[in-house]
Amino acid sequence: MILRRIARPMLATVFFASGIDAVRKPAGRAEMAGDFIESSLNALPPNVSATLPSDPATLVRINGAIQVGGAALLATGKFPRVAAIALAGSLVPTTFAGHPFWQETDPAKRAAQRTQFFKNISLTGGLLIAAADTEGKPSLAWRGKRKANAAGAAVSAALPFGAKAGTSAWDSFVERTHDGATALGEKSENVAEKVRDRAPELAEVARERSVEFADLLRDRAPELAELARERSTEWAELISERAPELAEAARDRSTEWAELISERSAEVADRLGEKAPELAESARSLAATAQEKAQETADAGRRRWRKAAS
């Protein structure tokens, strides 16, 4: 916009001139700002003030260089918002150190210093407006809010059932879940009501089916009995044919088992002999326990009998 191309160099002119003068001739400004610089350094923490130059002339030159650089950037439209903020910052020490009108006793000098002080305040306001100028583009805050809304909409769309307008994604999810549960309850009630209405009809159908099935069994009973007799005759013939073979196999197996038992009997007897004392001790312990339990039961019976008799 043509207005910005004219207004920015006009606003930068005073800083360009003041910055060059401060860089070239810092003595006068350094003398005026000496007390302010000293009090400012004393107010800072020692580890911070130790890293800063304490020479007033050096600090005046640094502030002047900032004003020259910021004025050049603002006039050319290169990083104008950053340049405006830098120039506004450079005005703070210049204003309070160079124009302390409240310390002047001479009315004329006091009035001149007050004019320069409020001129710098006005320049600071203009610089802040320039720092906020986005040249018609959306601000960072607006763009950040738009990105946040887009991200929220994407998250809401990814959640089950979507999200209603004006509600958070979680509130919408809970509301949809509640609606689904309510609808499911209504459906189950309708189904139960229909089952209750159809119960007599279903019972009648079941009775009719059972009668048909019983009639079918009665009709097929002779056929099933004949089939069973035929199967039993076949199985009997098969068993009679396989009987010698099964008997021979049984004799072979019995011989093997007898040999195995005779081989293992000695081992089993040894193990029983080893375990006999332990088993006897366990039997005695169980007998003693049983005797104690019997005695307790008898005592309890006698106590109950005596209590009932009294």
pLDDT tens for 105-137 read: 888 888 988 898 898 888 889 888 888 877 767
Angle subtended at Cα 125 by Cα 6 and Cα 16, rounded to the nearest 5 degrees: 50
Angle subtended at Cα 300 by Cα 296 and Cα 302, rounded to the nearest 5 degrees: 120
What is the spatial distance between Cα 306 and Cα 300, in angstroms, rounded to a whole number?
A: 10
pLDDT tens for 19-51 read: 898 888 888 877 777 777 777 777 777 777 677
Neighbours of 98 (CB within 10 A): 20
pLDDT tens for 161-202 read: 444 444 555 566 556 666 766 766 677 667 667 767 776 777
Which pTM value belongs to this model?
Answer: 0.43
What is the spatial distance between Cα 201 and Cα 189, in angstroms, rounded to a whole number?
A: 19
Q: What is the mean pLDDT of residues 282-307?
A: 79
pLDDT tens for 66-100 read: 989 998 998 888 888 898 899 988 888 888 877 77
Are the CB atoms for 77 and 8 separated by under 8 Å? yes
Neighbours of 59 (CB within 10 A): 23
What is the spatial distance between Cα 58 and Cα 26, in angstroms, rounded to a whole number?
A: 8
- Token pair, residue 168, equals 């958070």
- Domain parsing of the chain, residue ranges: 2-137, 190-310
